[in-house]
Amino acid sequence: MNLFPPFYSLGFQENTENIDGYKPGGYHPVHLGDTFPSRDNPRYRVLHKLGLGSISTVWLAKDAVESELKSTHLVTFIAILSSNNGELAILQWLSTRPRDHPGAKHIVQVHDSFQIPGPNGTHQVLVMDVLGSLYSLIPQDGFRRQWSSVCHQVMLGLAYLHQKAVVHGDIHFGNIGFKIPNINQYTEVEMYRLIREPKSIPVVPHYHSVPSSSLPKYPVAVPETTHFMPKVFAEILKDKLTMEIIDFDNAFRLQDGRPSLKHTDVPRTVRPPELTFYKLSGGQVKDEWGLPSDVWSMAYMIWEIGFSDVMLAKGSEDDNRLIYETMKLVGPLPERWKPYWNSKCFEDSDGNFTLDPAATWKERCPPENDGDSTDSVAIVVNLLRDMLCWEPMSRPTAADLLRHPWFATQSPS
């Protein structure tokens, strides 16, 4: 019996994927300098890692063909996904639809796609524009001034998706990117100065008998751009940011129906209550995941972007606590959901508990900063309270929300 995992890393593993994810059906091993689609067709050359997810890794690559045609240092973003990912199908379908809505420009576009064979199976590769992460911008001075503009653009994108009867299914600020102006002006050397040279971590087997073909020789850490690109961020924040919605792994068309159990992938702290109660009831509660579910998650995102704070942090580890914390903001549960919530630990000695949403909102609202007036925060709270309605069909649509006073001064560009 082996007492240790089959592999271990020789170094600190912060900002790298779990090495156990490299197995049949898991991650595809990628190394710096690898070319895709193949060695015989080396169009995209890997320069650095940009991100990772539960089923994918994301890389910065140089596009040899476009760089030669346009005489630029064209870099692109390649996402290497597991073969059962449905993101490409949704994005390809959207690309065939009329772009007759101002929100269409706020949806990520796929410029190229192909499949690659590997030791862990066949993987889908998507080629897209390089986008920055909101995680890196939110701490920067001046970002708060773009709060309503950023959220307006995301709402436009959501309204476009909903016009096409597409549910995104995973709206949160980790799935929103911003375009980086003039990124193709940088040489490879200059790019490394901006985001630092890649940090690799060797991987070795504990046992000689363990096959290593499924693993990379070294995982590459995702760079922490927040700390060493302040000049770049300052330049970006001088102008209006351009936002795009990304990560369509949970997305589906209403006409196709929701793929089974996909709601389990949605982070608990942004998960709409209809998904939580569907889970808690073992499917006894009607499955109501649809367009209004995106509106609920969007409300959480607006709060977190503006106040750099998780709206329901106290419910992040437990569904019962999450429901109670939500009730404090939204009010009593609908009758049909009450049998599936355990209220005992929140009741007083008389079996009661008090809800006062107006007082809770007042308590939760952060102090004014960055030039916001009391009225502006009150307007945001009014917007969020409209969006956070227990009954899915009673929530305003994304199109309705674009007419809210908080968005009224924003242009549709």
pLDDT at 375 over 90: no
Between 203 and 43, residue with greater pLDDT: 43
Confidence of residue 227 (pLDDT cuts 50, 70, 90): very low
Q: Which of 199, 202, 217, 200 is nearest to 10 (CA)?
A: 202
- Share in percent of the chain as helix, strand, coil (round to 5): 40, 15, 45
Q: What average pLDDT is seen over the chain?
A: 82
Tell me the CA end-to-end span of the chain in Å, nearest whole number: 62
Number of H helices, E strands in the chain: 12, 13
Between 311 and 390, residue with greater pLDDT: 390
Taking the mean position of all CA atoms in its chain, how far away is CA 104? Answer: 18
Helix, strand or coil, per DSSP, at residue 2: coil
Question: What's the mean pLDDT in 76-87?
Answer: 74
Q: Which residues contact 76 (CB under 8 A, 6 or more apart)?
A: 44, 60, 61, 62, 63, 66, 111, 127, 128, 129, 130
Question: Is the Cα torsion angle 108, 109, 111, 112 positive or negative in sign?
Answer: positive
Confidence of residue 3 (pLDDT cuts 50, 70, 90): very low
Q: Which of 157, 162, 137 is nearest to 240 (CA)?
A: 137
Other beta carbons within 10 Å of 258? 19
Sheet holding 131-133, edge to edge: 131-133, 176-179, 243-245
Confidence of residue 222 (pLDDT cuts 50, 70, 90): confident
Q: What's the pLDDT score for residue 314?
A: 63
Question: What's the mean pLDDT in 337-347?
Answer: 89
Q: Which two tokens stand for residue 201?
A: 């971590």
pLDDT at 349 over 90: no
The answer to whether residues 74 and 234 touch, using CB atoms and an 8 Å cutoff, is no
DSSP string of 72-102, one letter each residue: S--EEEEEEEETT--HHHHHHHHHTS---SG
* Dihedrals phi, psi of 316, to nearest 5 degrees: -70, -20
Tens-place pLDDT, residues 354-364: 899 999 998 88
Q: Which residues contact 250 (CB under 8 A, 6 or more apart)?
A: 168, 169, 170, 262, 265, 266
pLDDT at 380 over 80: yes
pLDDT at 262 over 70: no
Helix, strand or coil, per DSSP, at residue 372: coil
Q: What is the largest CA-CA distance in the chain?
A: 75
Element holding 192 (H helix, E strand)? helix 188-195
Dist CA 295 CA 159 (whole Å): 10
Dist CA 254 CA 165 (whole Å): 6
Measured CA angle at 209 (ends 206, 215), to 5 deg: 65
Element holding 295 (H helix, E strand)? helix 291-307
pLDDT at 6 over 60: no
Which residue in this structure is represented by tokens 């609202």? Answer: 365
Between 285 and 140, residue with greater pLDDT: 285
Q: What's the pLDDT score for residue 73?
A: 58
Tens-place pLDDT, residues 163-179: 999 999 999 988 898 88
